[in-house]
Structure 1
Amino acid sequence: MTVFAKCHHGRLYYSTDRPERHPGLAPDLDLLSAQIEALHAVGIRTPIYLSLQVDEYAAREHPEWVAHDENLKITRWSDSAFEAAWHVLDMSSPYADYFADQLSEVLERFAPVDGIFVDMCWDQPSVSRWAVDGMRREGLDPADADQRARYAKLVARRYMARYSAMVEKTLPPDAAQGVWFNSRPKTGLSEERQFVRHTEIEGLPTGGWGYAFLPYVARYVRPLGLPTLSHTGRFHESWGDNAALKPRAALLYECSQMLSHGLTSGVGDVLHPRGAPSPAVYELIGSAYGHLERCEPFLDGGRVVSEVAVLVDPALGDNPGASGIGAVRALQQLRTQFDLLPPASDLTGYRVVVVPESTRVDDALAVRLQHYREGGGAVLLTGPALLKNGTEPALPDLPVEGLAPAPAGESFLACEGVPGVPADFPVISYGSRLTARAAEGAEVLARVVAPYFPRSWDRFCGHSYTPPADLTEEVAVAVGGGVAAVTVPLLAEFHEHGLEAYRHLLGAALDRLLPDPLVRAGGPVHLETTVMRTTTGTAVHLISFVPSRETPTLDLVHDPFPLVDVPVALRLDSAPRSVRLQPTGQELPWDHDGAYLHVRVTTLDGHAMVVVDHD
């Protein structure tokens, strides 16, 4: 359980001679020590929390330490002095040493520590005198916004190195975790993992993160191989919503998602000023943790199995944009087992690589994709990813040729042999595309249909776009030789418009590249599946909840969505010893056809696991 040494107000919660000790604490009360002692007595570890860039005490006592924007305005979560809001401190100022003194005292006072959680650690550009002087020393131009951002990242990584070294000296030999720097994009972990022993994913779906956040970030963090704790909150909305509880089904959904991605589950709470935990809060948390406790014995030694790698641009951070979210949603709905990787990652072990339209294919990535192809891997490229450096084919064996930017405006897709999409009904395609012809021997899954005329201010038809007219020889989706080419921004379009034809088209292309996927499952579209290999076999997670938009900003979950007689097929070379639905223990009738294990599942609980015991 993470306990506070220092909060956003800059106040300290332990016995100290420092003036920032919380004035509301009784003189003889060492709150943090008492919490640690009580939790250790029942075998619970106690990582210690300190707020970094948000510190109201320091901001008031040293306003010169507050970060400033290019207009010399102080950095604050509100433009008004008369609205409650946090100030943001400048880590190039003497505040960095001030925090180091606080951290040093905590480490000396409580060593050996179970871990340190440093919060509010984003890259914060500033034009304070310390920041400007620092940029000049580094040869950077303070007047350039990009170089200010570059310096902010440099400052962050320097304080991470400094504080990490301080923490490492105070850890016990069997430390489960060291220091964690929160509020940083997980896509930077490939470079920043040197400062940490583990990863934490903060994501409150109703607190601004949304229900698409964890499925994206978890799949990026998993391949790094670091122990990972993910946490949501018990709040109806976000941090600070202390007098409102999340629906029970929502917390079960969020914790089950974490479990299915191989993450340790955490639930955030804020202690009431009276200092007593709320029974209602911990009964709610206990209801979800009780389910996890019943599931965990069947996941001993479990690791998530993925066979598709989606290459994403780390510069997008934890907000991957339309194509990233579109890829996650579409592949989840297709039951594809996939990870998200930076372009420089090792692709060994993946059967298919997907390059979304937002990932730039440069010379280095083109070479790596070609080596991957030569090793027998399949590749799917969408939109601009078909062109290396935006000018020439990304691979020499593309199933299309004559790639070039198409004129602006809508077009339509006439699908051929795509289950679920009528061949005689052209489907709208929004946004820019590339023109292309089918290469010899390629299988065409979709051709371009042109509108009667381009829509313009002085010539238009209908509310949205001109109707489709004639089929062209232009290709939108083609497959051949283990490569799929998609000339339209299919993944971004799926996120922005949700047209199921786009998912069917992507699925048809993947079926050509991966005809024997690890798992197949029927049931409702929203069903989420992940596969884990355990010490005794395989577990297939089935998660069925439906968030619904019930306020202008909140997607809420009130009930699990029942699964009734849902067919599930797992690729398995030999017949299993047993198949059960866990954690209920129900034995499932099964059939093995030599390649796949087939079962049918009914569950009303929102999360269940098909646990297969096999060699």
Structure 2
Amino acid sequence: MPQHQPPHPSRFPRRTVHLDFHTAPQIPGVGADFDPAAFAQTFRDAHVDSVTVFAKCHHGRLYYDTDRPERHPGLAPGLDLLAEQVDALHAVGIRAPVYLSLQVDEYAAREHPEWIAVGEDLKLARWSASAFDPAWHVLDLSSPYADYFADQLDEVLRRFSPVDGIFVDMCWDQPSASRWAIDGMRREGLDPADADHRNRYATLVARRAMARYSAMVEKALPPDAAQGVWFNSRPKTFLSEERQFVRHVEIEGLPTGGWGYAFLPYVARFVRPLGLPTLSHTGRFHESWGDNAALKPHAALLYECSLMLSQGLTRGVGDVLHPRGTPSAAVYELIGSVYEHIARCEPFVEGGRIVSEVALIADLALGDNPGASTIGAVRALQQVRMQFDVLPPTAELAGYRVVVVPEAVTVDDALAEHLQRYREAGGTVLLVGPALLREGGEPSLPDLPVRDLAPAPAGESFLACTGVPGVREDFPVISYGSRLTARARPGAEVLARVVAPYFPRSWDHFCGHSYTPPAELTDEVAVAVGGSVAAVTVPLLEAFHEHGLEAYRQLLGAALDRLLPDPLLRAGGPLHLETSVVRTATATVVHLISFVPARETQTLDLVHDPFPLVDVPLSLRLGTAPRSVRLEPAGEELSWEHDGQYLHVRVTVLDGHAMLVVEHD
């Protein structure tokens, strides 16, 4: 039984390790080489302040002293591995939240196959179609398995209370056609034969389980605990309804493990406005979880952890403990070298808040994979140095200077009225493609800078730009995807018009390899700005994601320049430079992150080296002259100028991440 409690239960962890331990029952000598003092010292030397340790793994095995038959058979009879881990970590002031796997449990699946979720084809839910592939089964929370798990959780909470936190993994909405699920749907008045009803019931079952388990954990937490229970594997877009079950948020997103490098810049900006303490996980693995015998480059882990810091998140790195219980020296040399840098940076943003001027509206139905238009918008906004959050359609918009509504968002009457109230309060709006029209086909806002909106005939077209920096006026640019036809209203500034091809392309009437060349400039408008609205009739953000054409980003940037002529930050340097602005009680801090992922295989992007920033100009909107301007954590004093509105400075960053710290009154 643990004898020590970690300091500061109300302080949210900053540099964590998620210590996987999915160990098959056939493996002997589990924990045989475990040394409590050496175990704890490994994490302390690596600047780690919290380690998530295992009570129960995906194999359904338990790693603490228990009479339950699920205890791992390879664990020595006298070894209470979890208790010794928790006690050792607490003794050196490191927190030790406890992990339990929920809907993946191979022991329960073997002993109670009737608890496995069932598809509409009556096949058992499994991570493989073949019974002879190594793969996990998925348990059904509408079956008695939910009580079985509650008993396991109750035992852990009784033995380890007060806990530092509970991490419940593998918690998703699992539709099922089991007898348990069918009976439950009938009790709820749902039709088991209806796929939508099965999905609705799966959500209901998962949330009831979360409510039950959350109430159990809350009783085992210190009263002032910042960290409680986290239910992993659920879309963050559910948080508006599910935040009642949690005190904090954790974001699992290994860039090389299938999430990609575009995931965190989106989801962090969505979670951040919720105001909950948030921990983000990457991994030390070359690829994903379970890639135990491969390490990622130092630069990659430095990039990922620096990005978390810049987005106002605390840092987490995933590792797998060897079955014999000894952490790898190579792993913790890597993690420690990165966490040393992060620990040096943290004091400069202590108590700070991210400053954002632009709100990007997201389609919540798309979950954590928000689709081409949203990811295209995130990338483009980053590249034009806008400081932005991602918000649901119902979010409060006061405080944002521009709202961007991408193609994928359906503008219903409620959102249209919400946007109009925001405009009347002084805000500006950029609408793209279908967002220009309400569901009924009427313009989404009054006084748009365009009129006569209607779907355009299918076929390619081109954009002739005017007044767009970096885009020649005499070179029409291809426009991909479906667009709307529109005409400019009097007084609107037109940034792009439509150029028609010589003729539509078809199987028996075509020219060249890809599309018919541009012919005549039309009076159709592609991008226009008037008053407080910018209207984009082509799927600009979606096309930018799919094709990456530079002119699309430049066109978006030109429209935003009209709506926001005095942005918080202007920055030169390479296109990939990522920036964020943090305001503390005494300073404004600008994160500068410069790494470039390279395509290593057909599916793997990887960072090997930082990309140096040399004499890059930055301009920060600042009402008064600063007291000092430094580059941290190096402590380098910089020369600067202040013109009454902007602070101007030039920076050189050679190691991938630094912070411009501007102290002011």
Q: Same fold (TM over 0.5)?
A: yes
| Pair 1:366 & 2:413 matched | no
Correspondence 1:189-588 to 2 at 5 A: 189-588=239-638
Residue 54 (structure 1) aligns with: 104
Question: How far is the alpha carbon of 1:174 from its aligned partner?
Answer: 2.5
Which secondary structure does the structure 1 equivalent of 2:320 belong to? coil
Query: Could you tell me how far apart the structure 2 residues matched to 1:332 and 1:580 are?
Result: 24
Secondary structure of residue in 2 paired with 1:88: coil
Structure 1 residue ranges without an equivalent (≥5): none
Give 1:604's aligned residue.
654
The whole-number CA distance in structure 2 between the counterparts of 1:86 and 1:409 is: 46
- Does the 8 Å CA contact 1:300/1:535 hold for their aligned counterparts? no
* Secondary structure, counterpart of 1:2 in structure 2: strand
Deviations 1:164-198 (A, max 9, x none): 00100111122121100000011110110000000
1:162 and 2:212 are equivalent in the alignment: yes
**Per-residue displacement from partner, 1:242-279 (whole Å, max 9, x unpaired)?**
00001000000000000000100010111001100011
The alignment status of 1:109 with 2:149, answered yes or no, reads: no
Matched, 1:133 2:183: yes
Instruction: Please give the per-residue CA displacement for 1:496-517, whole angstroms capped at 9, x wherever unaligned.
Output: 0000100000000000000000
TM-score by length of 2: 0.92
Q: Which position in structure 1 is the counterpart of 2:24?
A: none
Distance across 1 between alignment mates of 2:253 and 2:96: 21
- Partner of 2:570, secondary structure, is strand
- Partners of 1:6 and 1:246 in 2: how far apart? 27
Q: CA-to-partner distance for each residue in 1:414-472, whole Å, 9 max, x for gaps?
A: 00100011101110011101110001110000000111111111111111111111010
Query: SS where residue 392 of structure 1 aligns?
Result: coil
Give CA deviations for 1:460-486 in whole Å, capped at 9, x if unaligned: 111111111101010000000010000
User: What secondary structure is seen at the aligned counterpart in 1 of 2:138?
Assistant: coil
* Kept after mapping to 2: 8 A contact 1:384/1:390: no
Partner SS state of residue 388, structure 1 = coil
1:405 positional shift: 0.6
Corresponding residue for residue 123 of structure 2: 73
Structure 1 residue identity aligned to 2:158? E
CA–CA separation in structure 1 for the residues paired with 2:479 and 2:205: 44
Once residues 270 and 621 of structure 2 are traced to their aligned partners in structure 1, the CA distance between those partners, rounded to angstroms, is 24
Q: Secondary structure at the match of 1:281?
A: helix
Give per-residue Cα distances to partners, 1:128-160, cap 9 Å, x unaligned. 111111112212221221221111111111111
Would you say the 8 A contact 1:117–1:180 is kept in 2? yes
Distance 1:187 1:235 in 2: 27
Once residues 124 and 600 of structure 1 are traced to their aligned partners in structure 2, the CA distance between those partners, rounded to angstroms, is: 53
8 Å CA contact 1:114–1:176 kept in 2: the answer is no
Q: Point out 4+ residue stretches in structure 1 off by more than 6 angstroms.
A: none
CA–CA distance in structure 2, aligned partners of residues 132 and 600 of structure 1: 65
Counterpart CA distance in 1 for 2:189 and 2:551 is: 52
User: Following the alignment from structure 1 to structure 2, what is the Cα–Cα distance between the partners of residues 442 and 247?
Assistant: 51
| Matched position secondary structure for 1:275 | coil
Matched residue type, 1:267: V
Q: Structure 2 stretches of 5 or more lacking a match?
A: 1-50
Cα distance in 1 between the residues matched to 2:387 and 2:459: 34
Question: SS in structure 2 opposite 1:354?
Answer: strand
Deviation at 1:208, TM superposition (A): 0.3
SS in 2 for 1:269: strand
- 1:562, 1:602 within 8 Å by CA — same for their partners in 2? yes
Q: Distance in 1 between the 2:518 and 2:175 partners?
A: 49
Between the aligned partners of 1:497 and 1:154, the Cα distance in structure 2 is 40
Instruction: Provide the residue aligned with 2:202 in structure 1.
Output: 152
Q: What amino acid does structure 2 have at the position aligned with 1:271?
A: L
Question: d(CA) in 2 for partners of 1:425 and 1:136?
Answer: 63
3-state SS of paired residue (2:260)? coil
Identical pairs, percent: 83
- Aligned-residue Cα RMSD (Å) equals 0.7
Of 25, 33, 37, the match for 2:75: 25
Separation of aligned partners in 2, 1:307 and 1:147: 40
Q: Secondary structure at the match of 1:580?
A: strand
| Other-structure match for 1:35 | 85
Q: Give the counterpart of 1:97 among 135, 142, 147.
A: 147
Letter in 1 for 2:474: D
Q: Which residue of 1 aligns with 2:193?
A: 143
**2: distance between equivalents of 1:597 and 1:120?**
48
Deviation at 1:537, TM superposition (A): 1.1
What SS does the aligned partner of 2:321 have? coil
Residues in 1 aligned to 2:523 and 2:124: alpha-carbon distance in whole angstroms: 58
CA distance in structure 2 between the partners assigned to 1:334 and 1:345 by the alignment: 24
Residues 571 and 597 in structure 1, CA contact (< 8 A), matched pair in contact too: yes
CA distance in 1 between counterparts of 2:165 and 2:343 reads 24
How much does 1:390 deviate?
4.6
Taking the aligned partners of 1:433 and 1:156, their CA distance within structure 2 comes to 40
SS across alignment from 2:73 = coil
How far apart are the structure 2 equivalents of 1:269 and 1:204? 12
CA deviation string 1:56-111 (max 9, x = no partner)? 00111111111111101111111111111111111111111110111011101111
Q: Which has the higher contact order (CA 8 A, sep 6+)?
A: 2
